Amino acid sequence: MVEAGPQSVEEALNSPEKDTWINAIEEEIVNQERLETWIVVNKVPMGRKAITSRLVLQRMLGSDGGHEWYKAQLVAHEFKQKPGINFLHTYTPLVSLSPIRLVLSFAAAHNYEIHQLDVVRAFLETDIKEKIYLQLPLGFEVIGEAGKNNSGVRYTGKRDPVCVRILKSL
């Protein structure tokens, strides 16, 4: 189960759960960097425009209904992308309800136990051929030298925009 979190990072940082939200944001960024999703760039090349992004904050609930963990997810404002420039085609594999119902009914008929789990990165991190630039939400700062392997970003609350070139799907 998922419970909506604060509507903005500012709202999260003004809440009593501030430290927990900062940890969730840092975990999301560390995961993206570990997967080599992007490289930090000094600036977006002439003739290109960076797609904006935001952090979606959610409280993941345990089976007892209590808060089990907090999750931040970086999402691109896809509605600003243009076909042929930012992407050539889209495809998202989804499961329909019929196979889920089949598995659940089979488990019920045979008295099997069912377990549910949440996978942190349940999608394929596919390489992107197009040169797409993303502006991270305000509050991130470049650590190291942009364009170098040792560069990265951290949430510090600074208000300067940070841009990255996307190498894999978010």
For 78-92, how does the pLDDT look when each residue is reduced to its tens digit (9 = 90+)? 665 566 655 555 555
Identify the pLDDT of residue 98: 87
Name the residue ranges covered by the structural domains of the chain: 2-89+117-168
Q: Among candidates 87, 162, 90, 92, which has minimal Cα distance to 131?
A: 87
d(CA 4, CA 6): 7
Q: Is the pLDDT of residue 51 over 60?
A: yes
How does pLDDT run across 121-148, given as a tens digit for each residue? 555 566 777 788 888 888 888 876 665 5
Helices (H), the chain: 9-13, 18-34, 97-109
Q: What is the pTM of this model?
A: 0.67
Residue 102 structure tokens: 């089949």
Task: Give percent of the chain with pLDDT exceeding 70.
Answer: 75
Going by pLDDT thresholds of 50, 70 and 90, the confidence category of residue 105 is: very high
Q: Is the pLDDT of residue 163 over 80?
A: yes
What is the chain's length? Answer: 170
Identify the pLDDT of residue 109: 96
Amino acid at residue number 12: A
Q: Is the pLDDT of residue 116 over 70?
A: yes
Mean pLDDT of 108-127: 73
Pairing label, strands 51-61, 127-135: parallel
